[in-house]
Amino acid sequence: MSFQKNATSIFQTMSQMLELTGGDRFRVSAHAKASRVIKELTIDIEPLASAGDLKALVAIDGIGKGTASKLVELAQNGTITEYEELATKVPSGVMKVLSIQGLGPKSVKLMWDEKGVESIDDLKKIIEDGSILELPRMGAKTVENISASIEFLESSGKRLPIGIAQSIADRYLSLLKDTKGTIKVAYAGSLRRGKDTIGDVDILIASDDPEAAREAFVESPGVTAVLARGETKCSIRAAIGDSSNRWGADQNSAVQIDLRVVSESSWGAALLYFSGSKEHGVRLRERAIKMGMTLNEYGLFEDDGSDPTPPQTRGVDPVACETEESIYRALKMPFIPPTLREDRGEMSLEESVRVIELADIKAELHSHTIASDGKMTIEESAAIAKSRGFHTLAVTDHSQSSAVAGGLKPDRLREHILAVRKVDQKTDGISILAGSEVDILVDGTLDYDDELLHELDVVVASPHAGLRAKPKQATKRLLKAIEHPMVHVIGHPTGRLIERRPGLEPDMNELIAAAIEHNVALEINSHWMRLDLRDTHVRAAVEAGALISINCDDHHPSDYDNLKFGVMTGQRGWLTPELCINTWDANKLHGWLKSKR
Ligand code: DGT
Ligand code: CA
Ligand code: CA
Ligand code: ZN
């Protein structure tokens, strides 16, 4: 595990352990905040921490003195004394109980203190003998939910890649659209925010016939368990089934889907609330309070909070509730697109940023054909690209070292270049460029010699093998490729596979600086199994002014549909269209590509 990931999880765990042992509230939240800040860093802090450079650490936004010295301790001793002390006080089974969805530190602490629950098995026992009901705020319904969550945790527990969650959500969306009485239906939560992984799917519905909606939902095919069936909230578990594809998602895994029944009149407030993130929601509510108002899932109300009864219950008319736009307007803020709602600085925006949109993309610069491991001919791929309104498609089959992917030996590449040129000549309305996805070998050199690279219109250089290298080595390797004068794009720079392979962890800021210096674009690979660069990397690249290329890395016709995930990742990194080379008109793009020949 990288230092950064290790630190992120230790601080998070410390925060939870502090709460479980009745620690000071301020320290509980300080540790949670530190964990979040460290998680989102785009620089490698290990060298600073190893060198004991407190000054440099404290200079990083969001890292205070206490956190800095703990980071140093972690780097130098491999652990943190305070963490070790806390860990002796909290049994590991209690931490497992805490990982059950719907159980927070407060309830877990009560179970532990009052009923001696120190493992999930202990918890199951007090559920079975009913003694759990003696605890405060534990009703039959809550206990039922806890049981369902335990079952869920034991059978799956992983987050889903967005591509899988999206296809399941789409299935439920169309089912509910076709249900009697439906006025509006939409998904919210992390799926709407375009996060790379999804914990559960959240769907909102406004209906003239809520009972029909609830029924259609809990009785739909594929439901393996009904976790809750209330007036306003229903939860199910649904089998993933065949919506997974050749990337081999686990056929036995299931996903939780929450359906919230809301009223049409407060649609905007509900959508805003359930789209999250939780952190963004907290910041919005703070802002409302400062303005003498209350914001909740029913609306934004003129209300000073002195009356404990919620304003909607007292019959107070909302200032805004029908649309998200009207609520942001009433809060005197620009509209914040869902992909930006992560409390990463969007609250300070004075006007809206024009982030990249799907329709801005006019070129695909990373695609495979049957010449290597793709399933399309050059013509087929070009026809799809053209139908999407693209002016350019680059054919970039694999290079010789990617033998399992059918990589092309130099003479086959030469033939392939001719084949691409031929198809280009007889095809109207789109330029088809001859390129290659060239392996960046472990030592940072490229998989073809310069003479051959020179004949290619587009060179996407990507790491494929040796993805367990140490961060320092990874940085060196990628820097060398960036410095190569004939490279246009660094493809899937870290090589990670979501929930399956962590990939390289290079010093992203060094790569970004080099990419700017050498006029190289860094890729956001849109495949939902990759999303590489990830959102936080994109944000750092955009702030520095580096060029980005959003590509589908098509192997199959349906891969073109993944573009939306790459675009959302770009949005989450605040990417503007100008910095994305795939948005440029043909003249500008082709001129830029030729400038490296
Ligand atoms: P996920 O499912 O882990 O990928 O992430 P989300 O963001 O979809 O989170 P989820 O499903 O727990 O809740 C959906 C949204 O509902 C969340 O983004 C904000 C809102 N929400 C849920 N629970 C809370 C809460 O305890 N407090 C606040 N303020 N908002 C919440
Ligand atoms: Ca969710
Ligand atoms: Ca949820
Ligand atoms: Zn690749």
pLDDT tens track for 241-251? 654 443 344 44
Residue 318 is encoded by which pair of tokens?
Answer: 């909302």
Domain positions in the chain: 3-90, 98-152, 160-261, 268-348, 358-594
What distance in Å separates the CA atoms of residue 334 and residue 575, rounded to the nearest whole number? 17
> What confidence tier does 155 reach under pLDDT thresholds 50, 70, 90?
low
Amino acid identity of 526? S
- Give the domain 3-90 fold: DNA polymerase; domain 1 (1.10.150)
- Which tens digits make up the pLDDT trace of 336-373? 999 999 999 999 999 999 999 999 999 999 999 999 99
Task: Please list the alpha-helical segments (H only) found in 291-436.
Answer: 324-330, 378-387, 410-426
In the reported structure, the alpha carbon of residue 10 is separated from the centroid of ligand 2 by a whole-number distance in angstroms of 24
CA-202 nearest atom, ligand 1: 11
Least confident of 96-110, 288-302, 551-565: 96-110
In the reported structure, the alpha carbon of residue 322 is separated from the centroid of ligand 3 by a whole-number distance in angstroms of 22
- Which tens digits make up the pLDDT trace of 503-531? 999 999 999 999 999 999 999 999 999 99
What distance in Å separates the CA atoms of residue 540 and residue 54, rounded to the nearest whole number? 23
CATH class belonging to 358-594: alpha beta
Q: What is the pLDDT of residue 311?
A: 94
What distance in Å separates the CA atoms of residue 362 and residue 343, rounded to the nearest whole number? 31
Asked if residues 548 and 490 have their Cβ atoms less than 8 Å apart, the reply is no
Whether 401 is in the pocket of ligand 1, judged by its Cβ within 6 Å, is: no
Q: Tell me which ligand sits closest to the C-alpha of residue 368.
A: 4
What distance in Å separates the CA atoms of residue 310 and residue 331, rounded to the nearest whole number? 19
Asked if residues 79 and 106 have their Cβ atoms less than 8 Å apart, the reply is no
- Give the domain 98-152 fold: DNA polymerase; domain 1 (1.10.150)
Q: Rg of the chain over CA atoms, in angstroms? A: 26
In the reported structure, the alpha carbon of residue 202 is separated from the centroid of ligand 3 by a whole-number distance in angstroms of 5
Whether 573 is in the pocket of ligand 1, judged by its Cβ within 6 Å, is: no
In the reported structure, the alpha carbon of residue 190 is separated from the centroid of ligand 2 by a whole-number distance in angstroms of 5
CATH class belonging to 268-348: alpha beta
Asked if residues 17 and 86 have their Cβ atoms less than 8 Å apart, the reply is yes
Q: What is the pLDDT of residue 1?
A: 61
Count CB neighbours of 313 within 10 A.
9
In the reported structure, the alpha carbon of residue 510 is separated from the centroid of ligand 2 by a whole-number distance in angstroms of 34
Whether 235 is in the pocket of ligand 1, judged by its Cβ within 6 Å, is: no
Q: What is the pLDDT of residue 244?
A: 40
> What confidence tier does 157 reach under pLDDT thresholds 50, 70, 90?
low
pLDDT beyond 90 at 186:
yes
The upper half-sphere exposure of residue 336, i.e. CA atoms within 13 Å in the direction of its Cβ, equals 29
> Can you tell me the mean pLDDT for 474-502?
95
Q: Is 564 exposed, middle or buried (0-12, 13-18, 19+ CB in 10 A)?
A: middle
Whether 187 is in the pocket of ligand 1, judged by its Cβ within 6 Å, is: no
In the reported structure, the alpha carbon of residue 459 is separated from the centroid of ligand 3 by a whole-number distance in angstroms of 42
Q: Tell me which ligand sits closest to the C-alpha of residue 295.
A: 1
pLDDT beyond 60 at 321:
yes
Of 21-35, 136-150, 381-395, give the range with the top mean pLDDT: 381-395
Whether 276 is in the pocket of ligand 1, judged by its Cβ within 6 Å, is: yes
What distance in Å separates the CA atoms of residue 225 and residue 220, rounded to the nearest whole number? 11
Q: Reduced to 3 DSSP states, what percent helix, strand and coil does the chain have, rounded to the nearest 5?
A: 50, 15, 35
Pocket test for ligand 1, best of 274, 277, 287, 296 (most atoms within 8 A of CB): 274
Amino acid identity of 550? I
Q: Tell me which ligand sits closest to the C-alpha of residue 257.
A: 3
Whether 337 is in the pocket of ligand 1, judged by its Cβ within 6 Å, is: no
Whether 16 is in the pocket of ligand 1, judged by its Cβ within 6 Å, is: no
Average pLDDT, the chain: 93
pLDDT beyond 90 at 125:
yes
Residue 47 main-chain phi, psi, to 5 deg: -60, -40
Instruction: Provide the sign of the torsion angle of the four alpha carbons 407, 380, 356, 35, taken in this order.
Output: negative
Closest CA to 484 of 524, 452, 444: 444
Q: Please enumerate in sequence order all residues whose Cβ is within 8 A of that of 476, keeping only pairs 6 or more positions apart, or say none.
A: 444
Q: What is the 3-state secondary structure (H, E, C) of 546-593?
A: CEEEEECCECCHHHHHHHHHHHHHHHHCCCCHHHEHHHCCHHHHHHHH
Count CB neighbours of 380 within 10 A.
14
Least confident of 46-50, 302-306, 382-386, 586-590: 302-306
Pocket test for ligand 1, best of 106, 278, 535 (most atoms within 8 A of CB): 278
Q: What is the pLDDT of residue 156?
A: 54
Asked if residues 168 and 243 have their Cβ atoms less than 8 Å apart, the reply is yes
What distance in Å separates the CA atoms of residue 29 and residue 532, rounded to the nearest whole number? 31
Torsion on CA atoms 109, 114, 119, 124, rounded to nearest 10: -120
Q: Strands 318-320, 363-367: parallel, antiparallel or unpaired by DSSP?
A: unpaired
Distance (Å) of CA 564 to CA 46, 193, 397, 522: 34, 12, 23, 18
Q: Do domains 3-90 and 98-152 have the same CATH topology?
A: yes
In the reported structure, the alpha carbon of residue 281 is separated from the centroid of ligand 1 by a whole-number distance in angstroms of 9
Instruction: Provide the sign of the torsion angle of the four alpha carbons 300, 303, 305, 311, taken in this order.
Output: negative
Beta-bridge partner residues of 306: none
What distance in Å separates the CA atoms of residue 15 and residue 572, rounded to the nearest whole number? 27
Pocket test for ligand 1, best of 145, 164, 190 (most atoms within 8 A of CB): 190
Asked if residues 80 and 34 have their Cβ atoms less than 8 Å apart, the reply is no
Q: Strands 392-398, 363-367: parallel, antiparallel or unpaired by DSSP?
A: parallel
- Which tens digits make up the pLDDT trace of 490-503? 999 999 998 778 89
In the reported structure, the alpha carbon of residue 558 is separated from the centroid of ligand 4 by a whole-number distance in angstroms of 17
CA-277 nearest atom, ligand 1: 18
Whether 342 is in the pocket of ligand 1, judged by its Cβ within 6 Å, is: no
Q: What is the pLDDT of residue 425?
A: 97
- Percentage of the chain surpassing pLDDT 90? 83
**What's this model's pTM, rounded to 2 decimal places?**
0.78
Q: What is the pLDDT of residue 161?
A: 93
CATH code 1.10.10.60 for 160-261: no
Of 126-130, 228-232, 473-477, give the range with the top mean pLDDT: 473-477
What distance in Å separates the CA atoms of residue 167 and residue 146, rounded to the nearest whole number? 27
> Can you tell me the mean pLDDT for 376-381?
97
Whether 189 is in the pocket of ligand 1, judged by its Cβ within 6 Å, is: yes
What distance in Å separates the CA atoms of residue 268 and residue 271, rounded to the nearest whole number? 5
Whether 202 is in the pocket of ligand 1, judged by its Cβ within 6 Å, is: yes
What distance in Å separates the CA atoms of residue 470 and residue 2, rounded to the nearest whole number? 9
Q: Would you call 317 helix, strand, or coil by DSSP?
A: coil
Helix (H) or strand (E) holding 19: helix 3-20
Whether 200 is in the pocket of ligand 1, judged by its Cβ within 6 Å, is: yes
Residue of minimum CA distance from atom 28 in ligand 1: 278
> What confidence tier does 287 reach under pLDDT thresholds 50, 70, 90?
very high
Q: What is the pLDDT of residue 151?
A: 77
> Can you tell me the mean pLDDT for 80-90?
92
Q: What is the pLDDT of residue 100?
A: 83
* Protein residues placing their CB within 5 Å of the ion ligand 3: 200, 202, 258
CA-193 nearest atom, ligand 1: 7
Q: Tell me which ligand sits closest to the C-alpha of residue 275.
A: 1
Q: What is the pLDDT of residue 242?
A: 52
Q: Would you call 269 helix, strand, or coil by DSSP?
A: helix
Whether 194 is in the pocket of ligand 1, judged by its Cβ within 6 Å, is: no
